[in-house]
Structure 1
């Protein structure tokens, strides 16, 4: 599967980072780039359940392509969400269903730093994306 420009930029940035400290800083920077959600979008209907941190997700479809926006109260999670969104934004429902989350974070060099609870939380975000795409 080919990567979008955003996903390719993420991959290049994170593979160029030589250490976990550099990748952690990059994650924080990417997290700051997330498009903000309005107060009305931070409601229970958009909350992703299964995350230890609070995470909200909204999605909209244009011409069979999905674009998601997300927010979290945790800085590291915002960064992880940003690189996840870089990977999935612009995909069709079928492409979304084929995303291998573990492989993506492995390619970025972030897989070892994902605790089981963070991994479960990101899988819950991906599951919510799929649910929105099928609705």
Structure 2
């Protein structure tokens, strides 16, 4: 499944909910389903700057694709991490670098987050793109 197909799937899932309390509940549910980030990856190096809560993102290149793991100590943020990983993990550095993440605006996420959470979301996306760029350079 392409990144855009995954984004469209998320937009469709969120469109099933009429109000934001239901969407927040869905986000929390997604966060609860997130695989536990191993303790060895909960390092300062994997901590995202610019997030009000603690967010860790760890990435590895496997068979030319970036596998991303993440976690947060805040339940809604953990759901946002789950969405980002669902869309971007398992893709090549080029796919990640050349994709516009339109699902964030389409599901209304940015406008329903506090400014600090919104900044944190931007910081997470920046970090994932930085991983992609680093792996692309490494691949040559």
The answer, yes or no, to whether TM exceeds 0.5 is yes
Match in the other structure for 1:47: 47
Q: How does 1:110-121 map to 2 (within 5 A)?
A: 110-121=109-120
Unaligned 5+ runs, structure 2: 136-140
For residue 7 of structure 1, report the CA deviation from its aligned partner. 4.2
Return the alpha-carbon distance in structure 1 between the equivalents of residues 60 and 8 of structure 2: 22
Q: How does 1:12-31 map to 2 (within 5 A)?
A: 12-31=12-31
Asked whether the 8 Å contact 2:8–2:103 carries over to 1, the reply is no
Asked whether the 8 Å contact 1:51–1:117 carries over to 2, the reply is yes
Unaligned 5+ runs, structure 1: none
> What TM-score, normalized to structure 1?
0.86
Return the alpha-carbon distance in structure 1 between the equivalents of residues 61 and 4 of structure 2: 17
Match in the other structure for 2:127: 128
Aligned residues: 134
Return the alpha-carbon distance in structure 2 between the equivalents of residues 111 and 44 of structure 1: 26
Q: Deviations over 1:57-83 (max 9, x none)?
A: 111222222121111110010011111
* Aligned-CA RMSD value: 2.1
